[in-house]
Amino acid sequence: MTARKRPTNGQWQAIIHNEGCADGTFFYAVLTTGIFCKPSCVSRQPRKQNVVVFPNPNAALQAGFRPCKRCQPLDTKTAFDQPIQASQRFMQKHYAQPLTVAQVAAAVHLNTSYFEHRFRKQTGQSVMRYLLDVRMAHSRDLVSEAELSIQTIARRVGFQSGNYFGRVFKAYFGVTPSNWQQQGKWGEQKWMEN
């Protein structure tokens, strides 16, 4: 039996302002009606002391709440989570191209600033930071395993300039790509201490 979770201040603000961008990040149920909703639901504002929150619709169902007919919280998976996951798949596939946030947003049919906002809300990091993590993971593999020039590796992970790639790599791992190649395991160790 898990304790009932009360909304945080941020969640409560999202509920009373019907914030669509909070949809998919949590669900709220009203103890007095037995119904659960998405934050954006425009149904009558509940009293705060009657509100409990859940991380997903299944948790609310398991606790015995019924989905609201108005906001249909069970549709959230398709309506809200999917574009962000699709954008992550898109970046994992196209990281070798010099992508912009606008291009990624367009790929999942969302307005750029809305997409950026929602990506951060749902994943806790920015779009470009996510893309950097993907690129650096691939760079690490390429630098460690292959005898490739820095310029070639840079291009394979979406950087136009080898110099710029080298600076980003050093800022990320604390060692330059060429030092990493020369020093092999030592470089890896240095990265892990960071």
First to last CA, the chain: 40
Q: What SS3 class is residue 5?
A: strand
Q: What is the DSSP string of 7-72?
A: PPHHHHHHHHTT-GGGBTTBEEEETTTTEEE-TT--SPPPPGGGEEEESSHHHHHHTTPEEPTTT-
* 18 makes contact with Zn ion (CB under 5 A): no
Q: Does 153 help bind Zn ion (rule: CB under 5 A)?
A: no
Residue 13 is encoded by which pair of tokens?
A: 């603000």
37 is catalytic: yes
Q: Is 157 a residue that touches Zn ion (CB under 5 A)?
A: no
* 17 makes contact with Zn ion (CB under 5 A): no
Point out the catalytic residue in the list 21, 37, 41, 68: 37
Query: What does the per-residue mask of binding to Zn ion show for 34-73, with x meaning CB under 5 A?
Result: ---x---x-x------------------------x-xx--
DSSP-derived 3-state class of residue 147:
coil
**CB of residue 41 vs Zn ion: minimum separation in angstroms?**
3
Residue 110 makes contact with Zn ion by CB under 5 A: no
What are the residues binding Zn ion (CB under 5 A)? 37, 41, 43, 68, 70-71
List residues with catalytic annotation. Answer: 37
